[in-house]
Structure 1
Amino acid sequence: MLRHASPLLSLACVLLLTACGAEVATPVAPRPALVIQPQPAVAAADSYPGEVRARFEPALAFRIAGKVSKRLVEEGQRVKADQPLAELDPQDVRLQLDASRAQLAAAEANLALVRAERDRYQRLIDRQMVSRSQYDNAENLYRAGLARLKQAKAEVEVAGNQAAYAVLRAPQDGVIAQRLVEVGQVVAPGQTVFTLAADGEREVAIGLPEQQFARFAVGQPVSVELWSQPGQRFVGRIRELSPAADPRSRTFAARVAFASTSIPAQLGQSAKVYIAGAERSPLSVPLSAVTAEQGQAYVWLVGRDHRVQRAPVRIGPYGAESVPVLAGLDAGDWVVAAGGHVLREGQEVRPVDRSNRGVDLAAKE
């Protein structure tokens, strides 16, 4: 009996051991994938560095020549309207004023003399004691004396103005943006002494490359990002565009005005101006989202079933962090932002955002 049961027992043991050694298949969890939607065109626009400047920047200069005797303000100092900024040595203009006043006194004395002479001849001619020509001569001397007095008064006013011009004053409230002279320096009339950044509107000064100058125009909308407020962009427009390139940098100077007067822009701040071209696509994606194979760029799209699909795209020039997509994407698409090289067609993924939170692909961002 045991002899016949031995083969059956051995077969049962073999089957039992085989079953114990077999591995049990477990389901594979979907791979997490960082997904984003294509960004608006402003993110793919060209950017140009600039500096915040005042809308009005008058160059301040003396109206007369002279030697600078006093400099009363420093660069960056805030000034009020009519505040003295610098003075010239007043000795020469004071001497000129004294000379003009002396000439005025002489003209007044001469006028009194010729007036008395004319009046005397007037009485004599009434008595027919002098000729008419003698009286006319006295009358002409009186008129000449009257004109000389008027001239002397004007010269005194001019000399007084010249003396006042020896003090340079601020035409309006603002900040001294630039100082170009020192005490002891001799300046000519009209030579810039200070540059004043007047209070009021603020703008951004930029330089535009000559190879792209044709696509810029006055009034063109732009967006401005201040260095002190990264990630926040303000609406603006090109207010002024130079018709000639700078001979050294070969760029065209432009001024960008803010659409609002309440922008917290301070003088001298760094800024970046974004200008979108008309030929650009309204979409862009991060550089890490784009993969290429055999010269064809593509991205991974995530469908509603959480499965990825390769989508060929046509891209524009690469930027620092993003690349414009000229064709192949829609604004509502969800794109795998990184790690596309480890994906395969039809693979199921778990969409997450940058905070590793699940993303509802059916909801709009």
Structure 2
Amino acid sequence: MQRLAILLLLLLVGCQEQAPQTSTDADPRWVKTATLVANSAATLSLTGVLRARYETPQAFQVSGKVATRHVDAGQTVRQGEVLFTLDPSDLEEGLAAARAELAAAEASLAVAEADLSRDRQLLEKDYLSRQAFERAELSVREAITRRDAAKAREAQARNALDYATLRAEADGVLIEVSGEPGQVVGVGQAVARLAQEGPREVEVSFPAHLRPPQTGELRMGERRIPLTRREVAGAADPASRTWRARYRLEAPLEERRLGEVVQTRFTLEEASSEARFQVPVAALDERGEGPRLWQIVEGQAQPLTVSLGRMTREHAWVSGEGLEAGQAVISLGTHLLTPGMAVRPLGEEGTP
């Protein structure tokens, strides 16, 4: 009897210990959260090269052998200053030949005019036919034409001799000088490059996947100089796969050496007015019809539809309505969540 009472007592205690246990399905699931970080990659810093607005090749308008060189790279020159000269021997002979040809043409014209005057007198006395007189008139016209052509060739030869002296076409700095005495050059072959005085620009090369922005800034220590895009290359460089762009300085710049490397900064045009946020890749749930994030609303997991911008191995950049910097989202195990699931963020273990 005593043993039976003890057995009943043990059974009663066992039932009391099991009674408080309930289904774990009703307990909130502990989840890890992360905060949205506003995208700070909307700007791009690149190096640029300081250039002159006008950089013109200096070349002879006639061919020949370089006789003298009067300048060096980096030298400041004034408009009209002599840069190079060619050997003038052939040009001088060409001018002499043109002058002789002109003299011969003028002599022929004088003979034709004298013949015409005599034929006119004979025609008036009926000693010459009308046909012969007209032929004499045509001879004068032909002689005039030859005289004019010879005069033009003489002027060309004179100009060619003047072109044997290459002069600076404007004030500026010679950023490159390649011609040397004894070198034979052709018409239009550059022997120097002149950076003219005046506006300065910055040349920047952008990655092929980015279109150069319309504006930017030049960073000179604490100073910021606005930049405005003037031109963009028609195609990306096939070797470096970059876009070459020229930017105009919108403020005066103290004297700097051309070709100097400078720092520039640009706001990317592809960054839309809609804010973009950085989140861990694990926070992105791509089940269903599109990417989404999960947030905790009154202790329950609720999805947020987002648009995916770009993604790396660790982070994703998203945008969407209702997203704000500092907003908490579930960052781990999102593939196990369902709308309305009871969840509780880690870090609240000590709260009731």
TM bucket, shorter chain: 0.5 to 0.7
List aligned pairs for 1:140-159, cutoff 5 A.
Answer: 140-159=138-157
Contact conserved, 1:60 with 1:192, CA < 8 A, in 2? Answer: yes
Tell me the C-alpha RMSD between the 2 structures. 3.4
Q: Which amino acid aligns with 1:224?
A: L
**CA deviation string 1:132-151 (max 9, x = no partner):** 12211211111111111111
Q: Gaps (5+ residues) in structure 2?
A: 1-36, 284-309, 327-346, 348-352
**CA deviation string 1:184-222 (max 9, x = no partner):** 11111111111110000000111111022xx435xx110
Contact conserved, 1:52 with 1:271, CA < 8 A, in 2? Answer: yes
Displacement of 1:262 after TM fit?
4.6
Aligned equivalents of 1:279, 1:150: Cα separation in 2: 68
Q: 1:216 aligns with which of 212, 215, 239?
A: 212
Q: 1:267 aligns with which of 255, 258, 261?
A: 258
Aligned equivalents of 1:317, 1:269: Cα separation in 2: 36
Q: Report the counterpart of residue 279 of structure 1 in structure 2.
A: 271
Aligned equivalents of 2:101, 2:178: Cα separation in 1: 38
Name the count of aligned residue pairs: 258
Displacement of 1:266 after TM fit?
3.6
Displacement of 1:88 after TM fit?
1.1
Aligned equivalents of 1:223, 1:294: Cα separation in 2: 33
**Quick one: structure 1 residues 152 and 294, their matched pair in 2 at CA, closer, same or farther if it must change by over 3 Å?**
closer
Q: Which amino acid aligns with 1:96?
A: G
Q: 2:173 aligns with which of 159, 172, 175?
A: 175
SS, match of residue 58 in structure 1: strand
Displacement of 1:44 after TM fit?
6.2
Q: Report the counterpart of residue 206 of structure 1 in structure 2.
A: 204
**Quick one: structure 1 residues 81 and 317, their matched pair in 2 at CA, closer, same or farther if it must change by over 3 Å?**
farther
Q: Gaps (5+ residues) in structure 1?
A: 1-37, 284-291, 297-315, 319-323, 331-344, 346-365
Contact conserved, 1:202 with 1:265, CA < 8 A, in 2? Answer: no
Aligned equivalents of 1:183, 1:96: Cα separation in 2: 22
Aligned equivalents of 2:311, 2:180: Cα separation in 1: 49
List aligned pairs for 1:110-259, cutoff 5 A.
Answer: 110-212=108-210, 215-217=211-213, 220-225=214-219, 229-259=220-250
Displacement of 1:261 after TM fit?
3.5
SS, match of residue 234 in structure 1: strand
**Quick one: structure 1 residues 201 and 317, their matched pair in 2 at CA, closer, same or farther if it must change by over 3 Å?**
farther
Displacement of 1:164 after TM fit?
1.1
Aligned equivalents of 2:139, 2:149: Cα separation in 1: 15
Aligned equivalents of 2:324, 2:113: Cα separation in 1: 99
Aligned equivalents of 1:258, 1:98: Cα separation in 2: 52
Q: Which amino acid aligns with 2:92?
A: R
Contact conserved, 2:212 with 2:245, CA < 8 A, in 1? Answer: no
Contact conserved, 2:281 with 2:311, CA < 8 A, in 1? Answer: no
**Quick one: structure 1 residues 293 and 107, their matched pair in 2 at CA, closer, same or farther if it must change by over 3 Å?**
closer
Aligned equivalents of 2:161, 2:79: Cα separation in 1: 20
Q: 1:101 aligns with which of 99, 102, 118?
A: 99
SS, match of residue 90 in structure 2: helix
Share of identical aligned residues, percent?
A: 35
**Quick one: structure 1 residues 158 and 317, their matched pair in 2 at CA, closer, same or farther if it must change by over 3 Å?**
farther
List aligned pairs for 1:10-21, cutoff 5 A.
Answer: none
SS, match of residue 248 in structure 1: coil
Poorly superposed stretches of 4+, deviation over 6 Å: 280-283, 292-296
**CA deviation string 1:260-290 (max 9, x = no partner):** 235554422211221112528999xxxxxxx
Displacement of 1:75 after TM fit?
0.5
Contact conserved, 2:42 with 2:271, CA < 8 A, in 1? Answer: no
**CA deviation string 1:143-193 (max 9, x = no partner):** 111111111110100111111111111111111011122111111111111
Q: 2:59 aligns with which of 48, 53, 61?
A: 61
Aligned equivalents of 2:311, 2:82: Cα separation in 1: 54
Q: Which amino acid aligns with 1:230?
A: G
**Quick one: structure 1 residues 208 and 259, their matched pair in 2 at CA, closer, same or farther if it must change by over 3 Å?**
same
